[in-house]
């Protein structure tokens, strides 16, 4: 009896004509519980809920600016804004500035390792 010339790997991802693909994914317990709650609220089963949620997620417009290439000054300005919002407003201005610089520039012992900063001339 002759062996088939097709190997198992040739058909592992193929979809039979007229049938939808079946996919397996790993979900955390928390995410599974959230999906199950959504499925129950929409009177459907988990598999159908996952399919509908994926379709909804794919239809959502991308977040403005996501995937857009930014220069380092834009990124730094955004980081400063975010850090400023997180800092205690009762801090004196010089302490706020010191903390922002420390977070943006990093510890002094690593400044020489940063590839995004110009090298210091010694």
pTM: 0.40
The answer to whether 114 and 106 have CB atoms below 8 angstroms apart is yes
As a whole number of angstroms, the distance between CA 33 and CA 46 comes to: 10
Q: For the chain, percent helix, then strand, then coil, each to nearest 5?
A: 55, 0, 45
**Structure confidence at residue 104 (pLDDT):** 84
Residue 114 has pLDDT above 70, yes or no: no
- The average pLDDT across 106-114 equals 69
Q: What is the pLDDT of residues 17-72, one digit of tens each?
A: 667 788 888 999 999 999 999 999 999 999 999 999 999 888 886 666 555 666 77
- The average pLDDT across 80-97 equals 91
The answer to whether 35 and 49 have CB atoms below 8 angstroms apart is yes
Quick one: which of 93, 120, 117, 119 has its CA closest to 105? 117
H-helix segments, the chain: 8-11, 29-41, 46-59, 72-86, 93-105
Q: What percent of the chain shows pLDDT beyond 70?
A: 66
């Amino acid at each position: 009896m002759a062996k088939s010339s097709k190997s198992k790997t040739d058909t592992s991802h193929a979809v039979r004509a007229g049938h939808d693909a079946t996919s397996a994914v790993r979900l955390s317990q928390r995410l599974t519980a959230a999906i199950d709650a959504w499925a129950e609220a929409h009177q459907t089963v988990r598999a159908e809920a996952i399919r509908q949620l994926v379709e909804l997620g794919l239809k959502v417009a991308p977040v403005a600016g996501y995937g857009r290439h930014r220069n380092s000054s834009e990124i730094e300005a955004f980081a400063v804004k975010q850090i400023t919002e997180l800092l205690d407003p009762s801090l004196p201005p010089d302490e706020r500035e010191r903390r922002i610089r420390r977070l943006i520039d990093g510890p002094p012992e690593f400044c020489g390792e940063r590839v995004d900063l110009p090298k210091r001339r010694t």
